[in-house]
Amino acid sequence: PRAKLLPDLPPYATALDKAGWWALRLACAGVLLFLLCIAIALSGESLHHYTVALFLLGVGWNFLFTGATALALTAYRPEEKDKAQGALNFCIFAVLAVSSLASGVLVTTQGWTLLNVGSLLPLGLTALALGWLAVGQRHGNAPSTIAPVVIKMGRSRWLEP
């Protein structure tokens, strides 16, 4: 019963978050869980390693997806958020579908180690982007740092003259 509650916690945390403070930390926690997942996956190929890595992957994905979506939507006016979230979710799940198929091909042709090591580049880029946003929030100019990376679905409140 308790294990079923865990995946449902991040949306409640970000729903209460108006300034993006928890959303940024939730996304950063997701990156850290992904790194831990990769470290465990690279440390062995037993069922135990795979099970723990898969659990960390699922929770890390949930944290990163929920936090990043909440952060991305802060760049839009309330009337734009529905369209923006639809476009953002479409892009995320399209990339997810392609990467799922590609990871199957990669693990069968190149092996488990290369699959895990190869995921460090996009994870590192994500960590850099979150760090950039954290520095922007600390200096009070977070809206100008997030606006260029959000899919534009109309006029964003941060890009208006």
Is the model's pTM score more than 0.85?
A: no
Q: Region 146-155: what's the mean pLDDT?
A: 43
Q: Above pLDDT 70, what percent of the chain?
A: 73
Confidence of residue 42 (pLDDT cuts 50, 70, 90): very high
Task: Using pLDDT thresholds of 50, 70 and 90, give the confidence band for residue 36.
Answer: very high
At 105-143, the pLDDT tens digits run 999 999 999 999 999 999 999 999 999 988 887 877 654
Give residue 156's region: left, alpha or beta (phi > 0; psi -120 to 50). beta
pLDDT at residue 29 tops 80: yes
**In this model, does residue 27 exceed pLDDT 50?**
yes
Average pLDDT of span 73-98: 90
Angstrom distance (rounded) from CA 121 to CA 132? 17
Over range 81-86, report the average pLDDT.
Answer: 90
Phi and psi, residue 155, nearest 5°: -90, 120
What is the predicted pLDDT for the residue at 146? 44
d(CA 131, CA 125): 10
Is the pLDDT at 10 greater than 60, yes or no? no
Q: If you average pLDDT over residues 57-63, what whole number do you get? A: 94
The confidence score (pLDDT) of residue 155 equals 46
Neighbouring residues of 158: CB distance < 8 A, sequence distance ≥ 6: 75, 143, 144, 146, 147
Cβ contacts of 37 within 8 Å, gap of 6 or more: 53, 56, 57, 60
